[in-house]
Chains A and B, each alone.
Chain A
Amino acid sequence: LAKTTQPISMDSYEGQEVNITCSHNNIATNDYITWYQQFPSQGPRFIIQGYKTKVTNEVASLFIPADRKSSTLSLPRVSLSDTAVYYCLVGEPRGYGNKLVFGAGTILRVKS
């Protein structure tokens, strides 16, 4: 699995857009980028997955540049309820899923 590097923590205010960047310099050709969200006292929840360019769903957007050595999770207009830990994982979408390894994640604190 490709090693990932994320900021340890970030602070934001309600209504702002938050961008969390993940570095994965050793990403392989078949690897996808997957993001999870974990609220306090809960298990992680899958947010979004992508391979290149941009992916958007009802929760977030994922931006992946052409070299794929990094990715950015974008949360539009955050609220207090978006306070959570966000994890970036890199690996093949199938097969790699047999060994899901999480890093330390990024603690996002949203303030009023």
Chain B
Amino acid sequence: NAGVTQTPKFQVLKTGQSMTLQCAQDMNHNSMYWYRQDPGMGLRLIYYSASEGTTDKGEVPNGYNVSRLNKREFSLRLESAAPSQTSVYFCASSIGTAEAFFGQGTRLTVV
């Protein structure tokens, strides 16, 4: 049982480049989330999707876009990466309750 799978696990980008972080869950969950975690800090919510077909901004949405492709997949796109977006990105899913399951994270460095 894979749970929440994020790809890639590591990525280095140059300033101004774009990329998409992929997230897929196999638990038939309704809700999916994207967070970023800077070194020594807590998680900050970027975007979330309460159900297939809906997305909403979280605490720090600027510089990001998301797509809820289907019930399983929720992608996060950086259109023009900046050094301030260097962080660890976590995807999570839940059935709609407060019990969420997290992926292993994507470590992104923007140089």
Chain A residues closer than 8 Å to B94, beta-carbon distance: 97, 100
Q: Mark B1-20, 1 if CB is under 8 A from A, else 0.
A: 00010000000000000000
Q: Is B43 an interface residue (CB 8 A)?
A: yes
Contact across chains for B97 and A43 when beta carbons are under 8 A apart = no
| Alpha-carbon separation in the docked complex, A89 to B99 (Å) | 11
| Alpha-carbon separation in the docked complex, A46 to B4 (Å) | 14
Give residues of chain A (20-42) contacting chain B, Cβ–Cβ below 8 Å. 32, 34, 41-42
Contact across chains for A99 and B96 when beta carbons are under 8 A apart = no
Contact across chains for A99 and B58 when beta carbons are under 8 A apart = yes
Contact across chains for B105 and A42 when beta carbons are under 8 A apart = yes
Q: Is B74 an interface residue (CB 8 A)?
A: no
Q: Quick one: given A42-B104, A42-B105, A43-B92, are A99 and B99 in contact (CB under 8 Å)?
A: no
Number of A residues near B (Cβ < 8 Å) is 26
Name which residue of chain B comes closest to A33, CB basis: B98
Chain B residues closer than 8 Å to A94, beta-carbon distance: 96-97
What would 18 A/B residue contacts be, using CB atoms closer than 8 Å?
A: A34-B98, A43-B90, A43-B92, A44-B92, A44-B100, A45-B102, A49-B98, A93-B98, A96-B98, A98-B96, A99-B56, A100-B45, A100-B48, A100-B92, A100-B100, A101-B59, A102-B35, A104-B42
Which residues of A approach B to under 8 Å, CB–CB?
32, 34, 41-46, 49, 85, 87, 89, 91, 93-105
